[in-house]
Structure 1
């Protein structure tokens, strides 16, 4: 049974709340993911971080608790429109692609998901660009300083970075890595949303409703997030490296996503594209599990007094 109308306002509010709750829970893992993806072998092949645990411990020792949330401000500010566009966009395209009396085909589900992914890059690209600079500041500071010393990251803000980029390159400055971001997000959404919908349809329904109970949505989001995030990790590595503006002395500079892909493959091998894959799964799986649960629970409907 399909909805007879598409209620935009509550869906946007639910999408925003879902994003805020999800990001707050998993942001420290996302910071570790960014640093692992960005680290490149030094002149002697040495690596700053051995693995996820080593990066987490080093970062916490040097930058303490609040250091683990570097860049979270811009993420929390922009995650509301980003998640709203992604979640609401998918529902919107599914609603309009559904034919009367027919089940939505897999092809149409993938079109709906990829269309939602394409729409979100207007917010995702600058959000990720600014977040990465803040998250990676501790790594680049340590690369340039002494590893033994507790090098403090420079004091920078998302506003100062954005203003500098706009001043030097215009509005396109904050859209560096847009093509790589589009490749990642469109592919992710084309995989994630159809898989989530199919998994979610298999679970227990709420009494007197066609909607799944909250834990089914959570588990479905978790599982679909695992598969989709691992599948697009190579694209995420390329995107992260392209969007890193401040480099260590041994870090390579790339001119395009294709140049980054070829250079990484040549100098670091295939496994380099799966750096931070475990961290990314640990970020995306619970993020979307939480987001889908919050989105479908219907907090906005409760606040606005709308009957679901």
Structure 2
């Protein structure tokens, strides 16, 4: 993030970060989504039923669209973050490029707000990608013993897109956008604030000028856990809204989803998937940011 780079380097680094995180984290993401959308089933039982009735490849349902969009999504996020940060902070002409970066990263409020702007921008890509991913992840068939079963018989991501678009149009592809914005804007700001502040701590108050494995892994993993932990209730609502059947929807909106979820399962429903999220968030974000920093600092000099 802190080496000189071109637009293509930013894209390649974002793609590397996104793909590496997806490959590691998608199976746990499938378990989390199924916990949140398919009833009160423990994570181990979700994993057991999924493997028993659908096989190991079921854990990778819905991977195609996130895989294809990973580069664009991460490039938008980090690109908008960097651009916004430069606008929020006054550059000092007498300072070197590295000193200017250090100057900007010391402004915690600017880092947080810039991360929020990045989260806002990426949400418009995240929402339709997540919608297709979640619909495929929650397609269980009639044999799986979850409280709810989804039997759409999609023939893959493209078939899912075509059928959703045919039934609900472009608006239907953005179902859950409002709750996605609520979830992603504050968590994206917190994510980068924690990451940059922890890196600054590890590097004696200065922005790192070279890749260091330990500090990047610990900072990235911790930032991932904290940013996800604070928005897990919104993630539950988003999973339920986007998994909802387009033909006969259960929920009419965010408040309706909140009310019905609470009435059926109590407050505990809004923490569903928390431990799986923690287990997933640390390695995914550690590897994602390590990949991102590696590409920018070693391949894009």
Q: TM-score of the superposition, structure 2-length normalised?
A: 0.85
Change in Cα spacing, 1:222 to 1:4, as seen in structure 2 (3 Å) is closer
Q: Which residue of 2 aligns with 1:69?
A: 60
Q: 1:139 and 1:32, CA in 2 relative to 1: closer, same or farther beyond 3 A? A: farther
Cα displacement string for residues 136-169 of structure 1 (whole angstroms, at most 9, x for unaligned residues): 011776369999xxx9983432212211222232
**Cα displacement (A) at 1:88:** 2.7
Contact kept in structure 2, 1:141 and 1:152, CA below 8 Å? no
Alpha-carbon distance, 1:242 to partner? 0.5
Instruction: After superposition, give the CA deviation of every residue in 1:189-227 in whole Å (9 maximum; x if it has no partner).
Output: 02111111101111248xx96345132111101001111
Structure having greater relative contact order (Cα 8 Å, sep ≥ 6): 2
Tell me the residue number matched to 1:269: 266
Using the TM superposition, name which of 281-290 and 182-191 deviates more: 281-290
Cα RMSD after superposing both structures? 2.9
Regions of 4+ moved over 6 Å: 2-6, 144-147
Q: Does 1:126 align with 2:117?
A: no
Answer yes or no: is the 8 Å Cα contact 2:216–2:289 preserved in 1: yes
SS at match of 2:55: helix
Q: Which secondary structure state, in structure 2, belongs to the residue aligned with residue 298 of structure 1?
A: helix
Aligned to 1:202: 201
Contact between 1:203 and 1:212, CA under 8 Å: does it hold in 2? no
Deviates more, 1:271-280 or 1:259-268: 259-268
What SS is found at the alignment partner of 1:154? coil
Q: How many residues align?
A: 287
* Displacement of 1:278: 1.1
Change over 3 Å in CA distance of 1:81–1:5 after alignment to 2: same
Contact 2:36 2:272 in 1 (8 A): yes
Residue in structure 2 matched with residue 192 of structure 1 by the alignment? 191
Q: Is the 8 A contact 2:3 2:297 kept in 1?
A: no
Q: 1:166 to 1:154 in 2, by over 3 A?
A: closer
- What is the rounded CA distance, in whole Å, between the counterparts of 1:291 and 1:189 in structure 2? 14
Change (3 A) 1:215 1:153: farther
- Give secondary structure in 2 for the equivalent of 1:100: coil
SS in 1 for 2:60: coil
User: How far apart, in 1, do the equivalents of 2:184 and 2:174 lie?
Assistant: 14
Taking structure 1 as the reference length, what is the TM-score of the superposition? 0.83
Match of 2:235 in 1: 236
Cross-structure match for 1:83: 74
Tell me the SS of whatever aligns to 1:201. helix
State the partner residue of 2:8.
9
Kindly indicate whether residue 261 of structure 2 is the aligned counterpart of residue 259 of structure 1: no
After superposition, residues 130-141 of structure 1 pair within 5 angstroms as 130-138=132-140
Segments of 5+ residues of structure 1 without an aligned counterpart are 41-46
> Cα deviation per residue 1:60-94 (whole Å; 9 max; x = unaligned)?
11111211111111221122212222233222222
Contact 1:180/1:235 (<8 A) preserved: yes
Counterpart mapping for 1:68-217 below 5 A:
68-101=59-92, 102-103=103-104, 104-138=106-140, 142=144, 154-204=153-203, 210-217=209-216
